[in-house]
Structure 1
């Protein structure tokens, strides 16, 4: 009975959504790839029917929209069949991007928490810094990423750090906002109770504000880790990088290899899901240790 309920409540909805996506995907494969087949037939002076065109739309070498089986085959070839040290391996490229992602995420987390603590405990920082933190996110990352790369290259900083700083730029904002909300979440009655105990500012922070902010922090971290990955990929685009998922997207775009592009996109999506899942597990364990009910 429990297994039936789990399948009905958790597995079946996911399978339904996946099936719907696959149906829509296959329909658009035919719609987008069929014009090329009709054009080829017209150039050859050979009349063709829809039933003759249909199977060809799923087997084009450079389709407008790859079929699901083509993307799966490319993922298998570039993750399983290729050694991970090969520059054609998506595992190799994912590791390059992951390195910048984790470094940028770590810097962004520390920076976000420090800024949030300052904003909550200092009225001047709250009034002066918070508007600038919000305004910083109105600048498109595609515009600022090349500037960061060029400026850092001009002073001799290349490699991993420039991409990590782009990830930091994107990831620190949700952490700042979430932590400010979390640190301010204790009710006034709880703060008054701490004062009646003659608690110091540090004791109020560590025994009340910090524990209360944990749900907000981990929610922000889930957003930040995913957006850090986006920042690392974007950071690879203006540099003409030869390694990383961004490099795979670039090379696929240059040579019209749409299957390669989609495989890299799915690899990035899978990597993001794994990272968010890891943060989610850490969230569960921390709340469990704090005595929260499952």
Structure 2
């Protein structure tokens, strides 16, 4: 005779289910999902609240009877709402990315590529400039005392104030198109790289620098074998901040300068014609 299989303990299945549910509830994905759903619910609530006055006025002018369900439905289907509903924004993004050719001027892919080009060029220039300035500041006391305060002061100037000036001056000397917008991105993105790399180059301890002097290392050897490896974590952290600011600079550079392409131009065109759904779609694309 064969031995019978051991019977499961009572409640083992429910305990396993509870443990599985606890693991899901404690996961990062579940936490993010809950927050996203809460944001969407609040968004829908504000959509009804902000769009209701215009919808009620429409009912009143038309002498139309309405119910709360009909009011909620109509506030989420307005052509030019004060606040578009999430599904309207998703539909607009789908229409302007999937239903049109990427090369069409109605496509967010087309406008996104133009903004992305300015963002990446400005980010590369800003990162290179920031590293060079940081090296100069760390190795030259005069640069530290004279340039660093100006680097900090430069970020107190509103970008909206100088963006048109940069575009106009560069157009006057024959530079137009991608480069002026990239330079605006450079203006914003080089600052976190400078600050981060100065901190990184100065992060080695005095005992480590003394050890390099004991080895009779030259300035360049100390830089490449000690300062540069120590600064790499600061570089990548700074680049995370710089690339996001570079995108902001590219969009700001498109908005006040009459640009006809790019996500900034898309946002500006939407505000001119009251196309709030278009504005929100371009915002999410950015």
TM exceeding 0.5:
yes
Q: CA deviation at 1:124?
A: 0.5
Number of the residue aligned with 2:35: 17
Q: Which stretches in structure 1 are left out of the alignment for 5+ residues? A: 269-294
Number of the residue aligned with 1:148: 166
Number of the residue aligned with 1:236: 254
Structural mapping, 1:1-294, within 5 Å: 5=23, 8-268=26-286
Q: C-alpha distance in 1, partners of 2:265/2:166?
A: 18
Cα deviation code 1:194-248 (max 9, x no counterpart): 1111111111100111001111110110111111111011111122111110111
The alpha-carbon distance between structure 1 residues 198 and 134, as it changes in their structure 2 partners (threshold 3 A), is same
TM-score, length of structure 2 as denominator length: 0.90
Q: C-alpha distance in 2, partners of 1:7/1:261?
A: 35
Q: C-alpha distance in 2, partners of 1:17/1:90?
A: 27
The alpha-carbon distance between structure 1 residues 242 and 3, as it changes in their structure 2 partners (threshold 3 A), is farther
Q: CA deviation at 1:184?
A: 0.5
Cα deviation code 1:19-67 (max 9, x no counterpart): 1111111111011111110111122233534333111011111111110
TM-score, length of structure 1 as denominator length: 0.88
User: How many residue pairs were aligned?
Assistant: 268
Cα deviation code 1:62-97 (max 9, x no counterpart): 111110001111111111111111111100100001
The alpha-carbon distance between structure 1 residues 3 and 232, as it changes in their structure 2 partners (threshold 3 A), is farther
Q: CA deviation at 1:2?
A: 11
Structure index of larger Rg:
2
Q: C-alpha distance in 2, partners of 1:228/1:3?
A: 42
Worse-superposed segment, 72-81 or 8-17: 8-17
Worse-superposed segment, 38-47 or 15-24: 38-47
Q: C-alpha distance in 2, partners of 1:7/1:102?
A: 39
Worse-superposed segment, 136-145 or 238-247: 238-247
Q: CA deviation at 1:7?
A: 7.4
The alpha-carbon distance between structure 1 residues 4 and 159, as it changes in their structure 2 partners (threshold 3 A), is farther
Q: CA deviation at 1:9?
A: 2.6
Q: C-alpha distance in 1, partners of 2:25/2:252?
A: 38
The alpha-carbon distance between structure 1 residues 2 and 212, as it changes in their structure 2 partners (threshold 3 A), is farther
CA root-mean-square deviation: 1.7
SS in 2 for 1:76: helix
The alpha-carbon distance between structure 1 residues 19 and 108, as it changes in their structure 2 partners (threshold 3 A), is same
Worse-superposed segment, 10-19 or 171-180: 10-19
Q: C-alpha distance in 1, partners of 2:181/2:25?
A: 42
Q: CA deviation at 1:6?
A: 7.7
Number of the residue aligned with 2:9: none
Q: Which stretches in structure 2 are left out of the alignment for 5+ residues? A: 1-18
